[in-house]
Structure 1
């Protein structure tokens, strides 16, 4: 597949896996006709692995992570499932680690299509493919749209509430207290040092 191309899905259940030379975080977002999630429950990823008709499957570090879509179980009103990927290492971009997405029949593992986005650079997250409903037919489209602000940027674009980490509390300034030793009256400074 090439960017923007699409294929009709010949299987009701498909697996979309995303492989790269490094570990990736793969997720899926269920979108309505306006291109937004209905709630944060429509964001499927390793911490929330199941949703209506969509499941996250971990590769366990030895195989690619995947999103499994059962088109027959996708609820009415959901018109698109967007599959995203980002490098697991914080701040790592896709420069030199272009991912390959493979769409398979989930029941017999046969390949329906594959896609490798061209010319990636500073992107830290990608919308790799979308599974979408058009005139009653489920299709897959190669996307390859990159984001420089990671998975949070993608999630926010599609209406997911992303909690930013709370800023670290600022410690009150500390004062250095200098101990001053006064020389005893009638004594010498050397004697004061000895007394201390």
Structure 2
């Protein structure tokens, strides 16, 4: 039975699931009726963060153009440009034991591709969620439904996996940003531009 989280809640992942080594982090969303003439392309990006909350290099930024990071321990499924259909729109497979020791936190984000230029924002998106599955049997362990709390934002940090006393935990973050992926990337220590 999956644990359902609310914004701000934290839950233990590995302690309560002994033997868990690989997880799939699935992210999904639906676009409300929208007739702006442009595609509505949401993207999942993953930031592998050191103790200081920043990436050590560009290689710690995993997204559709750099689908593998953390010495192969984090693998992105690739870009889904429409969000159509049921189930996860994009997913990330993580080998928890393979994550380099220098990575203390893995942040999962969803951004709207060219959201500002296309006049798109998360007020036009519904049913956003992140869930964590056991990669071996596809059992859903944790789920966080983001709700409809966003209107003008073009980027969201949906949640974070982080190390705590030798175990992995998950935090339901749910914080919105204006400025899209560039704003997020800058906050996480990447040079943008």
Normalising to structure 2: TM-score of the pair? 0.79
Tell me by how many angstroms 1:89 deviates. Answer: 5.5
Cα pair 1:45 1:56 within 8 Å, conserved: yes
- Please list every run of 5 or more consecutive structure 2 residues that lacks an aligned counterpart in the other structure: 32-40
State which of 22, 39, 48 in structure 2 corresponds to 1:30.
48
Return the offset for 1:109: 1.1
Q: Which has the larger radius of gyration?
A: 1
Q: Which has the higher strand share?
A: 2
1:56 aligns with 2:60: no
Any gaps of 5 or more consecutive residues in structure 1?
164-196
How well do the aligned residues superpose, as a CA RMSD in angstroms?
Answer: 1.6
Question: How far off is 1:87 after superposition?
Answer: 2.5
Q: Does 1:6 align with 2:10?
A: yes
Distance in 2, matches of 1:69 and 1:131, equals: 10
Deviation at 1:117, TM superposition (A): 2.1
1:124 to 140, 146, 154: 154
Of 19, 41, 46 in structure 1, the residue corresponding to residue 64 of structure 2 is 46
RCO greater where, 1 or 2, for CA within 8 Å and sep 6 or more?
Answer: 2
Q: Distance in 2 between matches of 1:41 and 1:136?
A: 24
Closer, same or farther: CA 116–96 of 1 in aligned 2, 3 Å? farther
TM-score normalized by the length of structure 1: 0.78
Aligned length: 163
Task: Give the secondary-structure state (helix, strand or coil) at the position aligned to 1:38.
Answer: coil
What residue is the counterpart of 2:121 in the other structure? Answer: 93
| Structure 1 counterpart of 2:174 | 144
Q: How many Å apart are 1:59 and its aligned residue?
A: 6.3
Contact 1:13 1:69 in 2 (8 A): yes
* Farther off after superposition, 69-78 or 93-102: 93-102
